[in-house]
Structure 1
């Protein structure tokens, strides 16, 4: 069973998060390469407790993912996402 068999983000959950995500194509500035896989990578880190260097390549280069995670943290994106998703008992 590989990493791609263990993805957890549903289309409905991603839809609820989408307006809160930065780097969307409808915004000025740079666009995130694959927001879904990036968020899945964050969920993988949280679920496993693994160090960043162990992030599977399916989610992207670990250092690039870490830098993007840090940018989102500074801009409060994760706080907004967690607040929006906290009402979902399955998330």
Structure 2
């Protein structure tokens, strides 16, 4: 098993195979597409090494809603070298800057969970073991991905 965070990047030949399965179109809001090669490289590294997701070095960002806007949360995250991307509460006296382009990623994550919960077995968690439950999340994710590719 590999150790450390250094990882071999995907070869150009490997990327040429996987690139046809990714969408490189601009989003409806005009944002640039995600760096799919970097994302796939991270996923393959996790699969190859068996390391937990927390061992990936990037990103070091906390995306959260207004409910988490407190000085204590912000100080805790900054002590862990995590950039808090949290919109300010309207009652906040000290204004804090926020990266709006990063915050928009929350919407993608929330929509992904919403689509996963459309599968009744995933939403109600019929399975008794975590392994079986995660297997159905994988199956549901593959189904959503294939549906996305066909449109």
TM-score, normalised with respect to structure 2: 0.34
Q: In 2, Cα distance between the equivalents of 1:48 and 1:2? A: 10
Quote how far apart the aligned CAs of 1:61 are.
4.5
SS at match of 1:39: helix
Q: Deviations over 1:1-46 (max 9, x none)?
A: 861xx31411011012111113x1xx241511x2221111001110
Give the aligned CA root-mean-square deviation in angstroms.
3.3
| Residue 18 of structure 1: aligned partner | 19
| Residue 146 of structure 2: aligned partner | 76
Aligned residues: 65
TM-score, normalised with respect to structure 1: 0.51
Q: In 2, Cα distance between the equivalents of 1:14 and 1:49? A: 21
Q: From the two aligned structures, give the one with the greater helix fraction.
A: 1
SS at match of 2:20: helix
Structure with larger Rg: 2
Q: Unpaired segments of 5 or more residues in structure 1?
A: 78-91
**Relative contact order higher in (CA < 8 Å, ≥ 6 apart):** 1
